Amino acid sequence: MEMQKVPEAGYKIEGLWISGLQRHLTLDNLAFPLKVISSVARATKLVKNFKPHAVVGVGGYASGPLVFAATRQGVPALLQEQNGYAGLTNKLLARYVQKICVAYPGLEAYFPAQKLVFTGNPVRRDILEARHLKAQGLKHFGLRPERKTLLIIGGSLGARTLNKSIQKGLDQLLEQGVQVIWQTGKFYYDTLYEATKHQQGELLRIMPFIKEMPLAYGAADVVISRAGALSISELCLAAKPSILVPSPNVAEDHQTKNARNLVQEGAALLVRDAQAPEELVPEALRLLQDAAQQQELSRNISRLARPQAAEHIANEILGLIK
């Protein structure tokens, strides 16, 4: 995605021939040593030509060769770990960098404690406004203030389990008068739009992608979401009662660990992916009717918000340069 988005934003981007290790024997794994050697050599050349004052690694595969090559040349370095469980690349790089910015407590188990800085994850600043956009959000989506509103977000590509679970329980939601804002993702939208034509009306808003996320958060009484690091950071800023359904198809099952961190703080509810088709909609209906638990979840998740995360990380980088 970044090979397209970064040039569109007006910045140059260079790619490295690198990928992650698979859990089983594959041709990609056999080529991995060659990829590492090639990528470190190219990264070394990039650093020499670009002459950076600092480098930042955010855990992707390309961070490994680049941060390693830069620190070998004496360039100060910083890592950002977005999740509640440290990824392999960041764990391998930790010894070479000066600072590690984290978004969850307890990462001393993976990194040197003296290098850790608790910053949170940077997210869109306008998400913070969602707390004050209830009336505006409902008006934007054509919904009524006296009804409960459920927001489902599975990312721009969509989440199969979330879509399957909501489709299965949609009649139950609508029969109980719940207003539904459902972001299906572009891959699933056409199929789900056709499948729900008979249910579409004043209670259901189904769309492939939501551009006006602050308004969607503002309108929602309860949010159903995956448990990616940036999704959780947005929910913290928006202070929304949330049911998290971690994706099982991610490295080290880190979304489950992200979600459990919030559950331990009384800041969110968790429904496992395998149980979602049966349990997700009933749990959402129960929470929508429990105003006291909604308030408690909202209060606890808002305490985890870090609205100044981007500035904090930037200041740490500037400190390395100085």
Rounded to 5 degrees, φ, ψ at 45 are: -65, -40
Amino acid identity of 66? L
Bridge partners (DSSP) of residue 153 are 183, 225
Give the contacts of 12 (CB within 8 A, at least 6 positions apart). Answer: 6
Annotated binding-site residue numbers: 83, 124, 156, 210, 255
Strands 99-102 and 77-81: what pairing?
A: parallel
Using the structure block, give the residue that is written with the tokens 């590509």: 157
Which residues have a Cβ under 8 Å from the Cβ of 149 and sit 6 or more positions away?
Answer: 138, 143, 178, 179, 180, 181, 219, 220, 221, 222
Question: Which strands form 77-81's sheet, in the order they lie side by side?
Answer: 55-57, 77-81, 99-102, 116-118
- Binding-site residues for UDP-N-acetyl-alpha-D-glucosamine, in ranges, read 83, 124, 156, 210, 255
What DSSP string describes 9-47? TT------S--PPPSS--HHHHHHHHHHHHHHHHHHHHH
Contacts of residue 29, Cβ cutoff 8 Å, sequence gap at least 6: 21, 22
Contact status, residue 290 vs residue 127, Cβ threshold 8 Å? no
Residue 19: count other Cβ atoms within 10 Å of its Cβ: 14
**Sheet with strand 222-225: strands edge to edge:** 204-207, 179-183, 149-153, 222-225, 242-244, 269-270
